């Protein structure tokens, strides 16, 4: 359920840091992508290495240690997160946040994020009941922060009372419930098929015709579909990308294999997104033995592959069909033409000459065209973010269709 969810855990200094270690471990086991940030006091209890190993990511603790010169770490992490959770949250960090103080990696990130922030306090019972702490917690409630109340019991300081960090299992459960709310899972119960990557059309056992598609956009779309609750099938040509969590991956090589795989999944699919760069031609003849060079020039006769998307457009019963068009000029015009000749509901057009888009890049610039002839341009965005935005836009447009009818 937490697959593809990006969770930033901010660890501040109290004895409950040891429980944050278990919490991060359980979060990663639940499929979430976890990054950890620590204050200097937190590092007095546990070293960053524990969190690094469990989260399988770098741990951040120094605002001025910029590991990647292309971004500013605290802003980048603030933007990255779907949810930020401060666990354990000391009286100190609660006080700083309530007063807008940003004097370390954790507090600057907390001020910079627009994601939802949860606070799981842990402290001595008398500190928790201190008027200033009560006042700060009240302020943060008013500011829209969500609190995970500490539980009662034996405290490390010897007291019995309220102040224990909530159990890691319980916090993970609350996060799962948060992400399974219907508004966060608009594709729950739906089946989405995504195709990605290039196809390879064999000439002989050692040679093939292909293209430069990296598969990044398709993989990002499959991940986004999973995160929105869909049962997701990813039909992928040969790419160098890890299998996204939560998808059913079908590896194929050629256009013909992709056609077969997609057709077996098409009838009960609710949406098909064809982001694969399918070869339009294949060698008419495939040699079973390696072709030997001859004197002089040579040529290979090519024949058309089946247009998978067009085939789906002819067969579709109620599936939302989304195609892609990679163009170098007159992108909207060509896109509109493909949308209608292939009987699509949407087409995502990208100008592959744009330096921020196209094959291999992490970012993309696209325009979504709808069957109603409307155009929705998007600015340059990371493909992962763009995938979310595109799917949410399509779902919104589809719900308008339902509401209109």
Task: Determine, following the binding rule CB under 6 A, whether residue 192 of this chain makes contact with ligand CTP.
Answer: no
- Which of 190, 282 has the CB closer to ligand CTP? 282
- Which of 80, 346 has the CB closer to ligand CTP? 346
Q: Under rule CB under 6 A, which residues in 217-276 are in contact with ligand CTP? A: 255, 274, 276
Residue 121, φ and ψ in degrees, nearest 5: -70, 155
Q: Under rule CB under 6 A, which residues in 313-332 are in contact with ligand CTP? A: 323-326
- Which of 54, 261 has the CB closer to ligand CTP? 261
**Candidate list 65, 280, 285, 330; residue touching ligand CTP; CB under 6 A:** 280
- Which of 85, 196 has the CB closer to ligand CTP? 196
Task: Determine, following the binding rule CB under 6 A, whether residue 196 of this chain makes contact with ligand CTP.
Answer: no
Task: Determine, following the binding rule CB under 6 A, whether residue 366 of this chain makes contact with ligand CTP.
Answer: no
Task: Determine, following the binding rule CB under 6 A, whether residue 338 of this chain makes contact with ligand CTP.
Answer: yes
Catalytic residue among 53, 75, 111, 157: 157
In the complex, what is the shortest distance from the CB of residue 325 to ligand CTP, in angstroms, rounded to a whole number? 5
- The DSSP bridge partners found for residue 60 are 37
Task: Determine, following the binding rule CB under 6 A, whether residue 308 of this chain makes contact with ligand CTP.
Answer: yes
- The DSSP bridge partners found for residue 368 are 348, 376
Taking alpha carbons only, the member of 34, 87, 84 closest to residue 57 is: 34
Query: With CB under 6 A, what is the number of residues at the site for ligand CTP?
Result: 14
Q: Respond yes or no: is residue 10 known to be catalytic.
A: no
The CA-based dihedral angle spanning residues 167, 173, 178, 184, taken in that order and rounded to the nearest 10 degrees: 150
In the complex, what is the shortest distance from the CB of residue 298 to ligand CTP, in angstroms, rounded to a whole number? 24
Taking alpha carbons only, the member of 274, 356, 277, 350 closest to residue 311 is: 274
In the complex, what is the shortest distance from the CB of residue 333 to ligand CTP, in angstroms, rounded to a whole number? 11
**Candidate list 11, 309, 320, 381; residue touching ligand CTP; CB under 6 A:** 309
In the complex, what is the shortest distance from the CB of residue 255 to ligand CTP, in angstroms, rounded to a whole number? 5
In the complex, what is the shortest distance from the CB of residue 4 to ligand CTP, in angstroms, rounded to a whole number? 23
In the complex, what is the shortest distance from the CB of residue 285 to ligand CTP, in angstroms, rounded to a whole number? 19
Report the distance separating Cα 8 and Cα 33, nearest Å.
9
- Which of 29, 340 has the CB closer to ligand CTP? 340
Six-digit token string for 214 = 């990296």
- Which of 147, 378 has the CB closer to ligand CTP? 378
Task: Determine, following the binding rule CB under 6 A, whether residue 398 of this chain makes contact with ligand CTP.
Answer: no
Residue span binding ligand CTP (CB under 6 A) among the ranges 100-108, 156-164, 303-311, 375-383? 303-311
Q: Do 251 and 236 touch, CB atoms closer than 8 A? A: yes
Task: Determine, following the binding rule CB under 6 A, whether residue 349 of this chain makes contact with ligand CTP.
Answer: no
- Which of 246, 323 has the CB closer to ligand CTP? 323
- Which of 201, 223 has the CB closer to ligand CTP? 201
Residue span binding ligand CTP (CB under 6 A) among the ranges 45-53, 87-95, 177-185, 302-310? 302-310
In the complex, what is the shortest distance from the CB of residue 18 to ligand CTP, in angstroms, rounded to a whole number? 50
Residues lying near ligand CTP in the complex (CB under 6 A) are found at 255, 274, 276, 278, 280, 305, 307-309, 323-326, 338
Catalytic site positions: 157
């Amino acid at each position: 359920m937490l697959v593809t969810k990006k969770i930033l855990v901010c660890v501040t200094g109290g004895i409950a840091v040891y429980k944050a270690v278990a919490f991060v471990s359980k979060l990663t086991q639940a499929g979430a992508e976890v990054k950890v940030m620590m204050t200097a006091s937190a590092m007095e209890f546990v070293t960053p290495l524990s969190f690094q190993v469990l989260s399988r990511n770098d741990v951040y603790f120094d605002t001025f240690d910029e590991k990647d010169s292309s971004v500013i770490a605290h802003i980048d992490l603030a933007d990255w997160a779907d949810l930020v959770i401060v666990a354990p949250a000391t009286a100190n960090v609660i006080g700083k946040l309530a007063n807008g103080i940003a004097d370390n990696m954790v507090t600057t990130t907390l001020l910079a994020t627009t994601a939802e922030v949860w606070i799981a306090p842990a402290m001595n019972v008398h500190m928790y009941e201190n008027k200033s702490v009560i006042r700060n917690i009240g302020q943060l409630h008013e500011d829209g922060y969500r609190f995970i109340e500490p539980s009662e019991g034996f405290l490390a300081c010897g007291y019995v009372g309220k102040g224990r960090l909530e159990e890691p299992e319980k916090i993970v459960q609350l996060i799962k419930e948060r992400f399974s709310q219907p508004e966060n899972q608009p594709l729950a119960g739906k089946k989405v098929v995504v195709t990605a990557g290039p196809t390879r059309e064999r000439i002989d056992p050692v040679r093939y015709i292909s293209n430069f598609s990296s598969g990044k956009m398709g993989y990002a779309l499959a991940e986004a579909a999973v995160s929105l609750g869909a049962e997701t099938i990813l039909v992928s040509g040969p790419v160098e990308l890890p299998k996204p969590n939560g998808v059913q991956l079908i590896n194929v090589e050629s256009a013909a294999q992709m056609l077969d795989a997609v057709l077996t999944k098409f009838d009960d699919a609710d949406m098909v997104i064809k982001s694969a760069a399918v070869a339009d031609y294949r060698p008419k003849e495939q040699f079973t033995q390696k072709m030997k060079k001859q004197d002089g020039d040579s040529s290979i006769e090519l024949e058309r592959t089946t247009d998978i998307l067009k085939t789906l457009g002819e067969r579709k019963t109620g599936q939302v069909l989304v195609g892609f068009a990679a163009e170098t000029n007159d992108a909207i015009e060509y896109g509109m033409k493909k949308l209608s000749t292939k009987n699509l509901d949407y087409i995502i057009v990208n100008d592959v000459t744009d330096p921020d888009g196209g094959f291999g890049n992490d970012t993309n610039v696209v325009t979504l065209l709808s069957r109603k002839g409307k155009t929705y341009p998007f600015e340059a965005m990371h493909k992962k973010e763009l995938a979310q935005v595109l799917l949410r836009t399509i779902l919104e447009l589809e719900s308008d269709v339902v509401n209109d009818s």
